[in-house]
Amino acid sequence: MATPAQPAVNEKLKPAMLSVYYHALGDQLQTRGSAAALVRPEVEPMPLDEALDCLARDAIRRDDWSRVREALWALIRSVSPPRGEDDCKEKMILERYGTELPAFVADHRLFNLGQFDSDRMSCRRDARLFSAALVAYPQQLSAPIGLYNQEVATKSSKFESATRNTSVLGKGVSAADFLAQIDGLPSVPPEIKDGRRTPVPNTREAVSQALNRLEDEVGVTIDGYIAAFADTVMFMDLWRETNHWDPSQPVTIFPSFSVTTQDAATLTTSVTATALVTPAEFLCITRAIDPRRWQKLSDQFHRVRFVMDEFATQAEEIETPIGEGLRARTRPYLVEEKVGVASDVVGAEVGYFHNVLQIDTFDVQVGAAPENCFADLEFSLYRSLDSKVLWDVRPGGLLIDSGWTKVRHVSDNTWRLTANKTLRFADRTPRTGWDGPLDFGQMLNYLAPAALTAWLNNDLYSSEAEEVHGTHDTGDY
């Protein structure tokens, strides 16, 4: 029997997804929340209803709604949460979201957007009490835990049911159960290891240290993190109830928020993005973040390979299986990367950056229990080889190119993935005597907050696509 012909690649899929992100930007730049951007996408944006219909047709054809899920979550995150029940009524839903998104979810019978917003508002209310209990915990104050328990005991709590249904705090564990667990831990003085005070695992001191460290890693306060966490958990629970949830998928990623900062004096840009990840197994995550998989995360990566020297003259074969980290050695691990710079103006790439990075750390720990599994990846710029922007070709081009990824256990089958990327481009026209968005020499630094935020958030979703489909794009585009 002849093999049936495969459907032609739908060339509108990538423009459709980019158009959704364009419509999700809102009217002003935000340094927190969903991916912020100041630059136009690579294509002229489609109308939102046309972009969503394109994604839906592809989802029906492939029986894979992951792209639609990504688009809906991007659009929902771009709208401020409801402040009262009036915001959840049909008239205000249309004012807040526009007409296209409510019509799409209704036409495809996905969910009731007004009911979701009402549930999200209720969920956030209880989540604020939950975050207050976590903030007070390192100060050895237990009263907020009692207040939370008192509040959720008298009603049906959406936050309680969502955390229990999604198992983000443990299999069948609600927020109240989680607080009871940490409140019942013993208090044990930290041990001295290598001259440092190290908390004993499963103690109040260990939990307190983890909570304090959380704010440093994700770049927001616990209160801000839990608010985004509550929204994410509600959407996870909502998507589980649709007919398009696939529990067999190797990795499912729900980005929670990103934080973008730029130093006004140096124009150094740093972006930190955080997501909740539910993998079939822990190594699905670590395989996706392995440098040997970077080239599959984005079209812009032309070349990524381990090399023997700082000039990338010879490739190096790494014996460690992908996703299992790197063995310690005296000689640094070096990775060559060549990254393209695209432009919608000419419809093609207008440049590239060719660098050698040093992998400072790639530590993967796989324990017998999920809570003992974690991963750390850190890298920094070793040498900027050469670059091109439009007509300008020269040695170097980057002053800073560093970042890290941390994977930390949240519950039985949920991990928090936080990724950071910091960039500073060299001034290509240092003698002009002025800087500004129209200065060619500093142009990339001014565009960096937008482009880097979108790129890092895209990489989170691409990590899911790589595990599911074995390609950087979720299917065809």
For CA atoms 428, 430, 433, 434, the dihedral sign is positive
Q: Judging by beta carbons within 10 Å of its beta carbon (0-12, 13-18, 19+), is residue 347 exposed, middle or buried?
A: exposed
Over its length of 477 residues, how does the chain's per-residue pLDDT go in tens digits?
444 444 444 667 777 877 777 677 543 334 444 443 333 444 467 889 999 999 999 989 988 888 899 889 889 988 888 888 999 999 999 999 999 999 999 999 999 999 999 999 999 999 999 999 999 999 888 899 999 999 998 888 889 998 888 877 877 888 999 999 899 999 888 888 777 888 888 889 988 888 888 888 888 888 888 888 888 888 888 888 888 877 666 667 776 777 888 887 888 888 888 888 888 888 888 998 899 988 877 777 889 999 999 999 999 999 999 999 999 889 999 999 998 876 554 446 778 889 999 999 999 999 888 788 899 999 999 999 998 887 888 898 899 999 999 998 887 778 888 889 998 888 877 665 555 544 555 667 666 666 666 665 665 555 555 554 454 443 333
List, in order, residues 6 or more apart from 434 with CB less than 8 Å away. none
**Among 433, 428, 461, 457, which Cα is nearest to 445's?**
428
Neighbours of 107 (CB within 10 A): 12
What was the pLDDT predicted at 165? 84
Q: b/e string for 274-293 if b means 16 or more Cβ within 10 A?
A: bbbbbbeebbbbbbbbbbbb
In terms of DSSP bridges, do strands 196-198 and 191-193 run parallel, antiparallel, or are they unpaired? antiparallel
Give dist(CA 337, CA 384) in Å, integer.
10
From the candidate CATH numbers 3.40.50.300, 3.20.20.210, 3.40.50.10130, 3.30.530.20, the one assigned to the domain spanning 250-469: 3.30.530.20
Give the pTM: 0.73
Q: Do 69 and 239 touch, CB atoms closer than 8 A?
A: yes
pLDDT of residue 98: 92
Q: List the one residue out of 161, 207, 212 whose CA is nearest residue 409.
A: 207
Stated as kind and residue range, the H or E segment containing 68 is helix 66-77
Q: What pLDDT is recorded for position 6?
A: 43
Cα angle for residues 266, 454, 378 (degrees, 5° grid): 65
Would you list the DSSP string of 230-288? HHHHHHHHHHHTSTT--TT-SEEEEEEEEEEEE-TTT--EEEEEEEEEEESSHHHHHHH
Q: Could you tell me the residue ranges of all domains in the chain? A: 13-110, 122-237, 250-469
- Of 377, 378, 350, 379, the C-alpha closest to 451 is 350
